[in-house]
Structure 1
Amino acid sequence: MGASSSTQQHPPSEQREVESLAASTGALSLLRNAFSKLAHPQTNTLPLQSLQQCFSLNYDNLICETPKVADSFRVLLDNLGPSIADLFFVPENGGLSWIEFLRGFVKCCGRMPASMLLNTLLRVFATTFARAGLTLKLEFESGDADCKISGFLRPIDVLMIFWMCWTMWWDARTRKFSKGKEEIFLPDVNHLVLSAVESCAEVGSDVNFWDCNISDLEIQLPVGKFLTWTLTTVPSLTDCFTQFVYARLQSCVTSENPSEISTSSFGDISSTKAQDTHLLSPGRAWTISLTFRSSISEEFLKLCCPVDGEEAEENLLYRSSLHGRGLNRFWSNIEGYHGPLLILVSANSGDASDHETSARKWIIGALTQQGLENKDVFYGSSGNLYAISPTFHVFLPSGKEKNFVYSHLHPSGRVYEPHPKPAGIAFGGTMGNERIFIDEDFARVTVRHHAVDRTYQHGSLIPHQGFLPVESLILEIEVWGIGGRSAKQMQMSYKKREELFTEQRRKVDLKKFASWEDSPEKMMMDMMSDPNAVRREDR
């Protein structure tokens, strides 16, 4: 193997050190197999051209809403693979030795702080941009992963970064499920780009978030602010790059024909495109997944790209336009689901007759870590609030209070309540001053300033929200189950039991009545004919 040859050029201590760093990532066995597969059998070195081919992405069709941007992005993708190989895998004499191959892998996928991983991702983007002949105003002080980066990013550059990360993630996830279609669907991530613009733009930048074209924005975003925003808002963005490198090397090992690794084949994307009609579009689900570094992230990724027979529709528990409006309809669909839930609300800031504000539609969301309960008090152990559209922000628990969720449904029977609690769904704040409150009829939603809420972090859920409560007309409500198949199966079992109990309560056991004389019908007829007659129960 390449290890024996490299020992003649490098000290054994250096080889052990590099192998130890590679082993800490859990990929040492994969790297041995990939090197053996790609290395030249006579020289026992790996040609750089083989690695360039290994990481190359070729597409016949890019599907997105902005063709002009897609043309530039196609050029960028054509240069991504060679840029990764040239940037990290530097041969000393012609081909890569075993140690040089490991050293390059550690540089791009080794265990390092999140800030260094983000610097590495930006370096890949800048190198690919320059190789494609595009202009980027970024400067790196040195070749180290923790070097200082200066300069600016334009909104269109930020869009390219997100699309590049989406492509790498999609490739890593769908490669083994591919069906020979060389096309990729680029989701709408404008909400993510506008979030970076809102957080990183210099003071005085006035952007109409409801009506703007990303490619036309000439705002400069300082790269330092962009790095800080990325680490706090979408900390898992760098995983897209490391997963791509892993998946591509794995493809080198499993592919019988090395030439096959140069073509990226994706599965059927029709189901992914159809999901754009939901409030939780693929781009929004992917964005929410980037806010986590836990197993729940995988459940959101399944909604972005259903593979291996999975259907995203199975996770849609409730949709107001499909199942009907109101808390009762809502409850009949989500009751019995004991797992994380994502509740999305689409609303309109203006009145239906106001033509100027009717286009100001926005989407907010709340993630609960457990199913909902019918209680007249706040409850819950954890959760997040989200501003989804037109800009994206995540508000984590503050740790000061635990008023995570309130969901109260009035009892079906007529029960006297001297001080009835409001029926509806709420998140954060206190009773009567909820940060988000959805009324019982699902007609209106009220969003209050974060000053009333000590449960979730501060921030505006709606652009230019202000201090006064915002009461808006609800356009759509969706609830997605994020607990996996086990939570869905438990809910199905719960519903079957409830249907069985309901059916049993409807049936009347006639065997309990021995004869006509003991039947309730006979008793009622006798009472109507002679109400003064003495009966057995009166004796």
Structure 2
Amino acid sequence: MGASSSKNGEIQSNEVRDLESQAVSNGVLSILRTFFSKLSDADSVSLSSLQQCFSLNCANISCETGSLPECFPGVLEHMGAAITDTLFPSNCQEGGGITWVEFLRGYVKGCGRMSASSLLNILFRVLALAAQRAGSAMKLEFDSEEVDGKASGSISPRDLGIILWVCWIMSSNLPRESQDVSLPDVNHLVLSAVESCADNASAIDLWGADILSLESELTVGKIHMWAIRTVPNLADLFSHFITSRMKQESASESYRAGTSSTLAENGSDATRNDSYLLTRGRAWALFLSQRSSISEHILKICFPCNDDVIEESLLYRSRVHGKGLNRFWSNVDGYHGPVLVLVSATSGDSSEISRKWIIGALTHQGFENRDAFYGSGGCLYSIDPTFHVFSAAGSEQNYMYSHLHPAIRQYDPHPKPPGIAFGGSAGNERVFIEEDFAKVTVRHHALDKTYQHGSLFPNQGYLPVEASVLDVEVWGLGGKATKEVQISYQKREELFTAQRRTIDLKTFTNWEDSPEKMMMDMISNPNTVRREDR
């Protein structure tokens, strides 16, 4: 008996060391220890305390679209229990506490380093369990009882909308106390999945579709492919949420109180942010599409903590600053960082229904006045009514083009058109915005070897589409330091401009010695004999 007990203890000790090693590689071991020690009682943590920590209960829920599935509050209510039952299944029925080794095992299996497909399976398992307990079962099946068991079946557009809304709440970093939550419009993301995964996508009107009533069934395999290609950050949201909640619980009471007040401010700023083209839902979709440092700046726009976030990020807005390349340039000149350009336009002639759509371009650098394409990277976006990402294809590097009229006019047999463009080639740009910002031309992807193929809006067709520009926004994603550099640059340029406009009155007070009088005399009588005074 003693030998057997010693052997079991040695095996458990080896497992603990292995699990702690994996937690160290993820950089979360200290967070896990602090969290466990704060909630533990007699070397274990109760399931009820874990459920409360990971709960998503909200007092009042509203949505920009005006309607939510009836089961949605119930899904949120059961999320805490669904998370603990998924991560710690051995103790679900017993009601006992979670020991340190069980706690580590559950975290590593559910939130450790693994493939994006496995992380999505875990996310779907948690949400399917919460929906089932809320009385609205999803058509999902799993091949094993393991945490990361492979998922199969299908997801309806309505259920996908629920999944995205829950993920949005997870990424918002809300504290576990009940709060008022206003959910963003995620129709563009749901329609993107429908367009990519549904068998009857061609028969669906993507311009005015109601996601709650669509009857399409999206297979899990296709959803995985769509998520990894379009919104790769979605797979990491669950593990980030779990770690973030542990940090909040481990923090002091004063810190948590400060967090709650900040998030209350976020709600008002978020509502104000939805008056822009870059609404919370669209900014969140852009965040999900980028796995780089740029995504962190986009996330700040999704959930701003104060007015400075919007002020330092919004460089240009045609409704405020006026349309035209010159006004655009006066606001973006000197910004040397990643830039997001959004263009809202409407297309369709008198015989067609006018369609409004929004496209975007993300560049890795600021704008420069050049008569040729330039840039070091970027991607194009279909923003609304559907969301798609067209990353760099790698064949060419015609990422961006921005050309002003030259300050000194001179004869040029082949003048370059003033305007802004992305992709394609000279004369056949994928996207070209005219100098006065009145028209935007979008061409078929066959002419573009810089960005991946795909339509920038539904039913684009093969012929060039000329649309009327409604609004243009430019957002700087370089952070506060980049904005401060631009402000210094603009102040320096204003000083130089003021100096060039200053007239030296001492030099030009005498009309007889002024160069203007000499020119007028030469024009009036150019044949007059003149000689230099010596």
Secondary structure at 1:311 match in 2 = helix
CA distance in 2, matches of 1:494, 1:267: 35
1:19/1:376 CA distance change after superposition, 3 Å: same
Aligned CA-pair RMSD: 2.8
User: Are 1:215 and 2:212 counterparts?
Assistant: yes
For 1:3, the equivalent position in structure 2 comes to none
Alignment check: 8 A CA contact 2:419 2:433 kept: yes
Secondary structure at 1:266 match in 2 = helix
CA distance in 2, matches of 1:190, 1:236: 18
For 2:3, the equivalent position in structure 1 comes to none
1:447/1:514 CA distance change after superposition, 3 Å: closer
Deviations 1:364-412 (A, max 9, x none): 1111111111111111111100000100000011111111111111113
Counterpart AA for 1:276: D
Instruction: Find 2:420's aligned residue among 419, 425, 446.
Output: 425
User: Are 1:303 and 2:301 counterparts?
Assistant: yes
The offset of 1:535, in angstroms, is 6.9
The offset of 1:143, in angstroms, is 2.5
Residues 191-200 or 364-373, more deviating:
364-373
For 1:118, the equivalent position in structure 2 comes to 120
CA distance in 2, matches of 1:239, 1:310: 28
Counterpart AA for 1:190: N
For 1:392, the equivalent position in structure 2 comes to 387
CA distance in 1, matches of 2:195, 2:467: 23
CA distance in 2, matches of 1:207, 1:463: 11
For 2:48, the equivalent position in structure 1 comes to 49
1:534/1:237 CA distance change after superposition, 3 Å: same
CA distance in 1, matches of 2:300, 2:242: 20
- Percent of counterpart pairs with the same letter? 57
For 1:14, the equivalent position in structure 2 comes to 15
Counterpart AA for 1:33: T
For 2:5, the equivalent position in structure 1 comes to none
Matches within 5 A, 1:152-301: 152-170=154-172, 172=173, 175=175, 182-203=179-200, 205-256=202-253, 266-268=263-265, 269-301=267-299
Counterpart AA for 1:467: Y
Counterpart AA for 1:46: V
Segments of 5+ residues of structure 1 without an aligned counterpart are: 1-6
The offset of 1:310, in angstroms, is 3.5
1:161/1:523 CA distance change after superposition, 3 Å: same
CA distance in 1, matches of 2:401, 2:241: 41
CA distance in 2, matches of 1:515, 1:264: 68
Counterpart AA for 1:399: G
The offset of 1:428, in angstroms, is 0.9
Residues 154-163 or 265-274, more deviating:
265-274
Secondary structure at 1:297 match in 2 = helix
Instruction: Find 2:461's aligned residue among 459, 466, 474.
Output: 466
CA distance in 1, matches of 2:530, 2:143: 103
Alignment check: 8 A CA contact 1:317 1:334 kept: yes
Counterpart AA for 2:63: C
TM-score, normalised relative to structure 1: 0.90
The offset of 1:510, in angstroms, is 3.1
Instruction: Find 1:442's aligned residue among 437, 440, 454.
Output: 437
1:8/1:406 CA distance change after superposition, 3 Å: same
1:183/1:450 CA distance change after superposition, 3 Å: same
Instruction: Find 1:137's aligned residue among 108, 120, 139.
Output: 139
The aligned length equals 522
The offset of 1:99, in angstroms, is 0.2
For 1:106, the equivalent position in structure 2 comes to 108
Alignment check: 8 A CA contact 1:376 1:406 kept: yes
Alignment check: 8 A CA contact 1:340 1:370 kept: yes
Alignment check: 8 A CA contact 1:182 1:265 kept: no
Segments of 5+ residues of structure 2 without an aligned counterpart are: 1-7
Matches within 5 A, 1:89-104: 89-91=88-90, 94-104=96-106
